Structure 1
Amino acid sequence: MSQNTRPSLRQLEHHDAFIERHIGPNDAEIAHMLGVVGQPSLEALTDAIVPASIKSAAPLALPSPLTEVEALAKIRAIAGRNQVFRSFIGQGYYGTHTPNVILRNILENPAWYTAYTPYQAEISQGRMEALINFQTLCADLTGMEIANASLLDEGTAAAEAMTLAKRSSKSKSDIFFVSRGVHPQTLELLKTRAEPLGIVLQIGDDSEAAGVDAFGVLLQYPNTYGQISDYAALADAVHARGGLVAVASDLLALTLIAAPGEWGADIVVGNSQRFGVPFGFGGPHAAFMACRDAYKRSMPGRLIGVSVDAEGKPAYRLTLQTREQHIRREKATSNICTAQVLLAVMASMYAVYHGPDGLRRIAARVHRCSAMLAAALRKAGITVGPDFFDTLHVVGVDAEAIHAKAEAARINLRRIDAGSLGISLDETVTREDLVALAALFGADPGDLDALDAATPDALPAGLRRTTPFLQHPVFNTHHSEHELLRYMRALADKDLAMDRTMIPLGSCTMKLNATAEMIPVTWPEFANIHPLAPAAQIRGYKELIDGLEQMLVECTGYDAVSLQPNSGAQGEYAGLLAIRAYHRSRGDAHRDVCLIPESAHGTNPASAQMCGMQVVVTKCDANGNVDVEDIRRAAEKYSERLAAIMITYPSTHGVFEEDVVRICEIVHAHGGQVYTDGANMNALVGVAKPGKWGSDVSHLNLHKTFCIPHGGGGPGVGPCAVKAHLAPFLPGTLGGENPVGMVSAANFGSASILPISWMYVTLMGASGLRKATQVALLNANYIAKRLAPHYETLYTGRNGLVAHECILDLRPLKDATGVSAEDVAKRLIDFGFHAPTLSFPVAGTLMVEPTESESQHELDRFIDAMIEIREEIRAIADGKLDREDNPLKHAPHTATMVCGSEWRHAYPRELAAFPLATLRQQKYWPPVARVDNVYGDKNIMCACIPVDAYKETADA
């Protein structure tokens, strides 16, 4: 190698850059694909697609990209600025031991964390079995008949319980009574949610509730101070008035105390965090809602149900109402879209691993330690409240002096007031902790074994649990690590996640979730921080959060960001609340009309309804673009009342519309604000900034554009980004003064997964983020161009190009052959692919978004599958395959079907199983045949399948 041709040090270092590992196609593949699309360069492609009126003139003002080694070292230093104290703060958050087998094989396993929401049932059987275990766990422990899987956090779950009670109770009252014993963050959430809906909150002592004419009552059991009360008589009184009783409870406590369903509760909510999910500075954690069977069709969130497949075997599926916001839109009762699937799976596996006896044993140990500490304090003359499970309410003390001692001992206690404090124990408490805690009060517990023998339990005698729970074999089988490991592996093997294949879902951006981005999440400096830890202990988190907020400000062109919303729908809600509060601050409370194009995501109208806004739907033209003249007409008609417009950009149809600046001008001219849904931000980062073209507010999806993985349907983070005039109206914090309250139970939402997005932006830098956007545009146009001879792309923008996704129109094929978009989606499973988005935003279509992370090889593999499927459709049209008995109508094909002794179809087994030769080397076999959705909707069953059902199937 000559001196002139030898690469420089800088060039050699460039090859260590993360960018080339995140972006799938290499430079040669990019050049080839540009040739197919007909563009000379990525810059030329960008100019051909993106309207000049919105393009950013300058590159992003972000640092140069770092290598993985450099970025991990930098975030390690940030993590080191956090201080991990022993936290006994409680208030809904508790220390827990994550079993290592679950930590490594669920939380840190891409087979679980890169999976998508289980809308395609046949390739989601494993994660749905884990979720139905979660539902069974929650229903059993609460004494309810049905539970969902899952909600975002306890505070928002309580707010959902409030609205469920409102629409389900017989009472005509607008009052919702809330016990003072409810956790403070839950009270804040209820205030935020109630006021726009015209619900009147009445907060009072438990003793007052029976005398209030309310549509519902919310109780905490045990309450925020730890006390366990008998609410049976109160429940009877509420029911007599036509109201419903909602209860926020603790799953671990319910292993020892009577289930709320036994004494009259109608709805039970709570958090499963202490079932093996770390503090994480507040999240993500899987909340739950359980209720009586009568309310199942009104229940918000996702519900896993049992149906049968085409072979008559049991199969799991999502029930109908779990996408109700897409069906009912502004009449939806909830805007919930993201769940907390990955965390619900962890909690369910914690219960599977420990089983009912193990859970009782953990709870009993926590309670014994709590009772012993209370006895030691009382012996020293300290007053401790009665009737508790794990939380001591200590009164009549110099709280500040004790907190100072605790801080010196690296211990956190709950701050209540100057004369009282709280101590919440958990499964991590040790004998040494008991001695140290007692010493803070000048108490000496002495011989702990003697203290244990002399101390009675503190559970009320009449409220001890006597009913069994978790009797299903799944909770009584997998208690050794070998057994649990194999069970989790067996479930993962049933599913398709991104560790096996691309997931080309439109509007969902299933891109690489790099291992380096994931590593910091489980570091104790991030995972083991209580959300109410003092500010001095969270300097690292503050640096990380402030830094990420500024990164997002730069990427979007807005002025301020709140990271509190813990889902995209929560971010929408926060943005609309900011607009509502802004208008009110100017004396424009009458502005309540929200314009929403008919192509919008279903969560948009649902969120507007939750803010008390009236939704006015505007039209789209024949090309799928929003109808600017219809927007102008509506803005003029409702000029005095116009609050906002909600648009998605690029559009839900996958196109950069030309008139977005003009739309902003029209809405502003009539006094409204512009909300831009950030679902498609993956087509904008580094190329255009919504905050600079006239938009006032956006939510972003960190679980899409910024690489937080979907985890089978959650966790998510939906930051709200705003221009300066809306910044004062971002979500408030617990105990803070703010015109808008909290929208999530923790000040920074799902804080423990924010390192993922921080790492992504740090690793990519300004140049990498822009290139990622450009390659996302290229990959989508490459697919559209290659498939053009076989499938029509429904909508295109300027120069016949699409944005980062394309909609393939299968409606003409159905008219000609009877083959539907769903048939194609199911046939793709036989090729080892997760289907694109089915029938959204247009019925009878597939919306494809390949993202920048997929290589040309993977894109071609998908294209080959789609072309082969098109050939099968042509064979049906030509009469070579039967119109009803063909591989598409009977897809997917299981190994059992193909290997059975009898083959009933007119097409060969080989075509069913191996439609492409490459599948002979690597083949995914779906665990079930096509699932019968209609059967499942008519026969709703949402708990673990009895073992007898499998036996009957095997015998059949």
Structure 2
Amino acid sequence: MRTDLFALRHIGINENNYQQMFKTVGVENLDQLIYETIPDDIKLKNNLNLPEALSENEYLEHLQELADKNKVFKSYIGLGYNEGLLPSPIKRNILENPGWYTAYTPYQAEIAQGRLEALLNFQTMVCDLTGMELANASLLDESTAAAEAMAMLFDVRSRPQKKENVVKFFVSEEILPQTLSLLQTRATPIGIELVIGNHEEFTFGADFFGALLQYPGKYGQVNDYASFVDNCNQNNIKVAVAADILSLVKLKAPAEFGVDVVVGTTQRFGIPLGYGGPHAAFFATKEAYKRNIPGRIIGVTKDTDGKPALRMALQTREQHIKRDKATSNICTAQVLLAVMAGMYAVYHGPKGLEYIANKVHNTTINTATAIEKLGFKQLNTVYFDTIKIEVKDASALKTIAESKKINFNYINDTTVSISINEATSKKDFEAIAACFAELNKAENTASFTEDVQTVIPSSLQRNTPFLENEVFNSYHSETELMRYIKKLERKDLALNHSMISLGSCTMKLNAASEMLPLSSAQWGNIHPFAPVDQAEGYQILLKRLEDHLSEITGFAATSLQPNSGAQGEYAGLMVIRAYHESRNEAHRNICLIPASAHGTNPASAVMAGMKVVVTKTDDYGNIDVNDLREKAELHKDNLAALMVTYPSTHGVFESSIKEVTQLIHDNGGQVYMDGANMNAQVGLTNPGNIGADVCHLNLHKTFAIPHGGGGPGVGPICVAPQLVPFLPGNPVIKTGGEKAITAISSAPWGSSLVCLISYGYIVMLGEEGLRQSTSIAILNANYIKERLSGKFDVLYTGEKGRAAHEMIIDCRPFKQNGIEVTDIAKRLMDYGFHAPTVSFPVAGTLMIEPTESESLAELDRFCDTMLSIRAEIDEATLDNPNNVLKNSPHTLDMVTNDVWDFPYSRQKAAFPLEHIADNKFWPVVRRVDEAYGDRNLICTCAPIEAYMEA
């Protein structure tokens, strides 16, 4: 046995397990199972052209060699990205801790109370600093958050005139360039007209519905927007502000101006630059918009016993309910990064944040003074951390600065901006001044004054308190913070405890060797807008990752820019849209979507300016080819695309897929394939072979980026040759195709830092390991299917009775016993398991996906659990809801209470199978009351007075 093979560590099944599993599944070998699962006409004829697999040690050495090619300069570029200092206890106990990074989205609230509390802290921090009433649990990045604000304000617009005439959105010329580019991407398809200009010269016309301001501006000027916002309010124009979160410690909260939305990024709250991401954006608004706010909101509710509990609020707003009526396709967040940013505020508290903000502001004033003494003109009248300097020769300054390993932001030939950050020391201050001294051939006489007079006028200074809650005033020593983080972690069930068998979400091993490099400053401390030659290691890695993903999907090129699966969907459709426009066929706007598709599909199509036409599925969950043909031919003159998931959302390889893709091409459309189920394809078939033109990939599913409790995600798109010219660009660093569409996310290569994980996954598995992973994922799914056979009905299978990598079991018949699918989901917690996907894509069902990472022992534990629950279902009766399923989950408080008035034993409640005692997980709350929380929406921590009263 070669113990240095990564595949041995990643894949949970070994050859000793095969015969038992083959016997259960009813096959002679793995080849037979694959033959019976995947249609022959789409199988790959050749192996993937990928490098030979590296061992874990070889990979880490290889990545260090690449890291050494990166030049880590001190970057004062700003433009929404600033170096911060990640406190070591947060780095060690959250970023590097699988108890945090392997958790799933908190749909099952009872086993996610720790994560939910951390996110509530994040929301409270955002509300306090912005002054707004409501914040969500993060968005993807500042630019996409600004675009979501624009879309929300467009959706809620109300004017005396007809809505269709109110389509203009004012954007301040002070906005970040990447934000403007993304607004341009998002505005056109939905009929918004952007008007870019100076806010002081803006004419408040009746055809405007909203405005977006930057606070401070992109080059550091802090404007007083009070009169502008007042005029907007008088003219029924809603206002959004993109704000720097650290500046809000010193500057007046935007809510005091009377704005409607505040967005921004929390990157500088301890999150590495990471060459662009991932970082947690924030979105704060008025409570009046609580049913319009995009993304997830964490809310306070109560459990069955009336005790406080947390859960995701207002979930009915999500796309699987609204589908093509949704105003946002956002289905994820940046939870891991939001948790870290929120914990940064917990650790530092209000006084700590004031110290950091004062230090940054003080260093900025000292820098401005030193540079002015050297004969240069500083152009900003009011600033927080960014100054704008007039120079005679920016190119000469660039040469000098880069020789000292310093990056400034070169606005033009005679202007430069400098953004000071938390990591800027007195030594750094002297080095900055030395650059200007050398430029002017003058002696560097820079001296640092500790307490300087602020340049912020009193009218713009913050005079309201923030972070008064107990949580932000209790954990300022490392010992206390470490224990607080651990207390929250213990409340959550993650992959470090047991299998999370979520269909469509592929919760596989996130290997330690894939994760380790994320902690390195050589990868973490590079600004996304640094000169490309300073990021040679990144450039090599990202290009190789793009090439590997193109090879795996059978396509010509890849863009890594989309930073979530939904963004990938949108990017794919926008590239298709641009392709049709280039052929003078802009009228093609019909998007065919099967009824079984994920809810983000229709939402993305509408955002891309397309009209959704739903096609039928047959009784077996397959695309109804006759209905599809009828609708494709009916709309052939205007057909833009088909969105299809393969294997299907029902977990089946449909044999008609090539007929389906040819049908779309014959009628002038392009085929977008949703890559959610790529874990059943890699190495065995691929989207190019199937006949698709573009697919997005969920790197946080198939390619091992951890879910992090609900993000980060990465959703790159891979495209056929005709779509390559339209891959998305960036306004600061050139990327994308020759006819690139405008930006899809803020950074040129999206969330570059976590792309290291997927690169490691591919190069350590190699071609053989990737193919084996896919095969074992299919074997594991079919093993569970057969073990549960006779007790649970599997809804859909392929023509030879096989599941793909996941299956749907039908729980609707149990209603005759009074048991709902939710009861099974909650009962699984007592057994130490997270529920599979509940009621998607079919209500009343569970969708199970074991992945290749799980061992046979874990698969058997899960199957034993499901069979035990099945026996409990048989014991339940419709007229007696006082049973072990309806009362689940059972908490430690229940089981140890002096009073036990249930008609079953404590042992049956908490330890129904013998093995559970060895590794018991205790939910900390009983079943949460969703409806109560929505009726009484509370989305921030209780004020400090509540703790004092308690």
Is 1:817–1:883's contact at 8 Å kept on the other side of the alignment?
A: no
TM-fit CA distance, 1:903? 1.4
Indicate yes or no: 2:263 matched with 1:269.
yes
CA distance in 2, matches of 1:833, 1:323: 27
Matching residue of 2:25 = 37
* Cα pair distance change 1:452/1:16, threshold 3 Å: closer
Q: Which moved more, 1:904-913 or 1:617-626?
A: 904-913
TM-fit CA distance, 1:210? 4.7
CA distance in 1, matches of 2:363, 2:948: 44
Is 1:314–1:949's contact at 8 Å kept on the other side of the alignment?
A: no
Is 2:391–2:416's contact at 8 Å kept on the other side of the alignment?
A: no
Is 1:302–1:322's contact at 8 Å kept on the other side of the alignment?
A: no
CA distance in 1, matches of 2:117, 2:157: 32
Please, which of 387, 391, 394 is the counterpart of residue 392 of structure 1?
Answer: 387
* Cα pair distance change 1:117/1:70, threshold 3 Å: same
Indicate yes or no: 2:481 matched with 1:487.
no
Write the deviation string for residues 173-207 of structure 1: whole angstroms up to 9, x where unpaired.
21000001011110101001001111000000121
TM-fit CA distance, 1:273? 0.2
Match of 2:375, SS state, is coil
Write the deviation string for residues 550-598 of structure 1: whole angstroms up to 9, x where unpaired.
1101111011100000000001001000110101110111100000001
* Cα pair distance change 1:323/1:510, threshold 3 Å: farther
Q: Which amino acid aligns with 1:935?
A: Y
C-alpha RMSD over aligned residues: 1.4
CA distance in 2, matches of 1:160, 1:550: 31
Matching residue of 2:375 = 381
CA distance in 2, matches of 1:399, 1:883: 79
* Cα pair distance change 1:283/1:59, threshold 3 Å: same
Matching residue of 2:813 = 812
Match of 1:595, SS state, is strand
User: Following superposition of structure 1 onto structure 2, how do residues 126-525 of structure 1 map, counting pairs within 5 Å?
Assistant: 126-171=114-159, 172=163, 173-213=166-206, 214-321=208-315, 324-384=318-378, 385-442=380-437, 446=445, 448-449=447-448, 451-452=449-450, 455-525=452-522
CA distance in 1, matches of 2:792, 2:504: 20
TM-fit CA distance, 1:397? 3.1
Is 2:274–2:523's contact at 8 Å kept on the other side of the alignment?
A: yes
Q: Which amino acid aligns with 1:797?
A: G
Please, which of 56, 78, 83 is the counterpart of residue 44 of structure 2?
Answer: 56
Match of 2:262, SS state, is strand
Write the deviation string for residues 259-312 of structure 1: whole angstroms up to 9, x where unpaired.
000111110000000000010000000000000111111000111011100010
Q: Please, what TM-score do these two structures have when normalized by structure 1?
A: 0.96
Q: Which amino acid aligns with 1:375?
A: T
Is 1:511–1:851's contact at 8 Å kept on the other side of the alignment?
A: yes
* Cα pair distance change 1:322/1:153, threshold 3 Å: farther
CA distance in 2, matches of 1:490, 1:950: 19
Q: Which amino acid aligns with 1:806?
A: M
Matching residue of 1:863 = 863
Is 1:600–1:652's contact at 8 Å kept on the other side of the alignment?
A: yes
CA distance in 2, matches of 1:766, 1:609: 38
CA distance in 2, matches of 1:662, 1:583: 22
Indicate yes or no: 2:72 matched with 1:84.
yes
Q: Which amino acid aligns with 1:557?
A: G
TM-fit CA distance, 1:461? 2.3
CA distance in 1, matches of 2:905, 2:537: 61
Is 1:209–1:217's contact at 8 Å kept on the other side of the alignment?
A: no
Q: Which amino acid aligns with 1:527?
A: G
TM-fit CA distance, 1:44? 1.1
User: Following superposition of structure 1 onto structure 2, how do residues 679-828 of structure 1 map, counting pairs within 5 Å?
Assistant: 679-735=676-732, 736=734, 738-814=739-815, 816-828=816-828
TM-fit CA distance, 1:921? 2.2
Is 1:297–1:321's contact at 8 Å kept on the other side of the alignment?
A: no
Match of 1:448, SS state, is coil
Is 1:142–1:260's contact at 8 Å kept on the other side of the alignment?
A: yes
Q: Which amino acid aligns with 2:809?
A: L
TM-fit CA distance, 1:946? 4.8
Is 2:575–2:723's contact at 8 Å kept on the other side of the alignment?
A: yes
Q: Which amino acid aligns with 1:788?
A: S
CA distance in 1, matches of 2:880, 2:4: 54
Matching residue of 2:529 = 532
Q: Which amino acid aligns with 1:766?
A: E
CA distance in 2, matches of 1:501, 1:302: 25
Q: Which amino acid aligns with 2:783?
A: Y
TM-fit CA distance, 1:444? 5.8
CA distance in 2, matches of 1:90, 1:444: 27
TM-fit CA distance, 1:948? 7.3
Write the deviation string for residues 867-902 of structure 1: whole angstroms up to 9, x where unpaired.
11000111125x9xx730001001001011111111
Match of 2:33, SS state, is helix
CA distance in 2, matches of 1:211, 1:46: 64
CA distance in 1, matches of 2:288, 2:236: 15
Q: How many residues align?
A: 935
CA distance in 2, matches of 1:118, 1:933: 13
TM-fit CA distance, 1:321? 3.7
Match of 1:800, SS state, is coil
TM-fit CA distance, 1:939? 1.1
User: Following superposition of structure 1 onto structure 2, how do residues 103-122 of structure 1 map, counting pairs within 5 Å?
Assistant: 103-122=91-110
CA distance in 1, matches of 2:420, 2:784: 56
Q: Which amino acid aligns with 1:180?
A: E
Matching residue of 1:8 = none
Is 2:204–2:235's contact at 8 Å kept on the other side of the alignment?
A: no
CA distance in 2, matches of 1:491, 1:394: 47
Is 2:280–2:335's contact at 8 Å kept on the other side of the alignment?
A: yes
CA distance in 1, matches of 2:457, 2:412: 27
Give % identity. Answer: 54
CA distance in 1, matches of 2:707, 2:333: 10
TM-fit CA distance, 1:951? 9.1
TM-fit CA distance, 1:31? 2.4
TM-fit CA distance, 1:317? 0.4
Write the deviation string for residues 382-403 of structure 1: whole angstroms up to 9, x where unpaired.
1112200000111243111111
Q: Please, what TM-score do these two structures have when normalized by structure 2?
A: 0.97
CA distance in 1, matches of 2:446, 2:36: 79
CA distance in 2, matches of 1:858, 1:784: 15
Match of 1:929, SS state, is coil
CA distance in 2, matches of 1:922, 1:278: 35
TM-fit CA distance, 1:211? 3.3
Q: Which moved more, 1:125-134 or 1:317-326?
A: 317-326
Unpaired runs of at least 5, structure 1: 1-11
CA distance in 1, matches of 2:186, 2:465: 36
TM-fit CA distance, 1:693? 2.2
Unpaired runs of at least 5, structure 2: none
Please, which of 528, 546, 550 is the counterpart of residue 547 of structure 2?
Answer: 550
Is 1:435–1:444's contact at 8 Å kept on the other side of the alignment?
A: no
